[in-house]
Amino acid sequence: MSKKYINNNQKSFFFEDNSNKTYDKTNKKKLLIKEDRIYLLFFIFFCLISIFSIKIIFTSLNAITYQKNSIYLNLKFKTFRNDIVDTNGLPIARNIEVFHAAIKPNLIKNKKNFLLKIQILYPEINIKVLNSNLKKNKYFYFQKNISKEEQYKLWSLGEKGILFERTQTRVYPHRNLFSHVIGQIDEDHNGISGVEKSYNDRLKSDQKPLITTLDTNIQFLIREELVNFQKIFKNIGSAAILMDVNNGDILSLVSLPDFDINKRQTIDNLNFINRATKGVYELGSVFKTFTLAGGLNEGVIETKSKFNNLPKKITCAGKSISEYDNKIPANLTAEEILIRSGNIGSVRIAQKIGEIKMKNFLDKIGLLKKIKFDIEEVGQPLPVRWGKCKLATASFGHGITTTLLQLAKGYSIISNGGYNIEPRLVKRTESNRDKKIKILNDGISNEMNSILRKIVTQREGTANFANIEGYEVGGKTGTAQKIINGNYSKNKINTFVAVFPTSKPKYILLVLLDEPKPNKDYIYNYRDGSGWKIKGTPYNTAGWTSVEVAGKIIEKIGPILAINKIDLYGNHVVKKTN
């Protein structure tokens, strides 16, 4: 048997099994694809969840905002400023709730459609400007201070891009009627003129309305007559004051031209000055009343004191002083000098009084210094350098200035028994009213009221057109040349002061016309029952202009004031009003 040998050095052969590796790679690849899909799906789900979450948050915020706005809108409306009312409680100034309508362009989907809707709602709107604002894509105000009705109209458009800001504004329901008295406020609701400024703190803090002494109905009637006669006499301006002579309460204060205070315009034209309080004028013969009253009060004359041989002209420092009417007699009593409005006679009375006493008397009744008042728009009378000539001219109202408001105060003191009063626009309680201080002697008012009545009733008087039956009107006229650029001009200031009823004075009415012109077509009717009529204005004096206006005013306001009227038998009859 042969031996077989095995070679130990021979390499063995084997086959590696790769099937498992291929399977693993395929598996891994499938796993990677699955993972990618999972990540993709997760990302998609995440995005969707994020979008829905943002939407939910946005919706929630809107709901919260809406809820807050709803709560805010339902809150009790609290005003920035309290009301200003007239003496009867009628509103003169009031804060009301309004809205600012704003537009957020990026919330408007169809801008062309939006513009069409707006144009239908607001035909007068400038579409080009609105379109330009929309293109800027910035938040802007579309309409400010709109009412709730306008807000509802804009809401009805169904545009999310229209937003509303709740605010308030100050409104003046009578527009021009009280413009010079009430004044204006700024955008921060602070008073900048008139009562709005003087009582700013009280209006912003006190919870009660500010009650004025003004009567809306009377204010309307007086303004209406001033406006009517401005067309007749072509005057550049006018003013009127109606005041209670016993307590200084002002029922009406009008100055023309006026303006709509709702527009909050800046008024630079000097013709819009408050002629009743701010304007400082030489007022002419209305000062003769003070000259006579001063002479009576100082005891240097009596009403029947004779002044004989009065010349038609005198000179002082080379300047002449003459009578306005050469028909005035040379021999007159003190009261006749006032009734006929004599210049020379007034000079003679003033000379008896003397410079110092005359100055002190005018100062005592409040004519020479700036008056304290409820509004800041008050004029400062020009300083007077007293001397013999100044005494002479001041006696008949030339070379001396004051305001219409101060004239009202002076005449009130003359007629109310001689008691000092302070004119007021805001009502005072009885507890804080000024204590009555008597500054004239007893009997002076009775004498002066009787003479003022004669100026209206006697044919020689200068105020016959104010003789309204039943109202016992007394008064004095004043015609003065207007000073322009330091020189006397042909333009005039015509004034009339009426006191009524003179048997027991209650009211004083002042009417001032600035630069009136005669009217050749106007028909004057004498009110003395004679039936006389005159066509055309014969003289451009207060007796033919301001007196006529005052007479018309008293006819209109007399029934409202319910003054005691006197019948033909001398009995007092109270005219009832509704």
- 188 vs 494: CA distance, rounded Å: 41
Mean pLDDT by 10 residues, the chain (578 residues): 43 45 54 63 71 62 45 55 94 89 88 86 86 87 82 84 87 95 91 95 89 97 98 98 97 96 82 96 97 98 96 91 90 97 97 97 97 96 95 96 98 98 88 77 98 96 94 97 88 97 96 97 86 92 97 94 48 41
Residues comprising the chain, all counted: 578
User: pLDDT value at position 146?
Assistant: 83
Q: Which residues contact 213 (CB under 8 A, 6 or more apart)?
A: 87, 244, 249, 250, 251, 424, 425, 426, 427
Question: 346, 358 in Cβ contact below 8 A?
Answer: no
Question: Shortest CA distance to 543 belongs to which of 576, 473, 489, 496?
Answer: 496
CATH 3.90.1310.10 assigned to 84-211? yes
Question: 515, 482 in Cβ contact below 8 A?
Answer: yes
CATH class entry, domain 219-574: alpha beta
Omega within 30 of 0 (cis) for the link into 257 = yes
Question: 214, 250 in Cβ contact below 8 A?
Answer: yes
Q: Is the pTM here over 0.75, yes or no?
A: yes
Listed by start position, the domains of the chain span 84-211, 219-574
**SS3 assignment for 280-347:** CECCHHHHHHHHHHHHHHHCCCCCCCEECCCCCEEEECCEEEECCCCCCCCCEEHHHHHHCCCHHHHH
Question: Shortest CA distance to 365 belongs to which of 297, 454, 301?
Answer: 297
Widest pairwise Cα distance in the chain: 200
| The pair of three-digit structure tokens given for residue 125, joined into one six-digit string | 């709107």
User: pLDDT value at position 20?
Assistant: 52
| CB atoms closer than 10 angstroms to residue 87 | 16
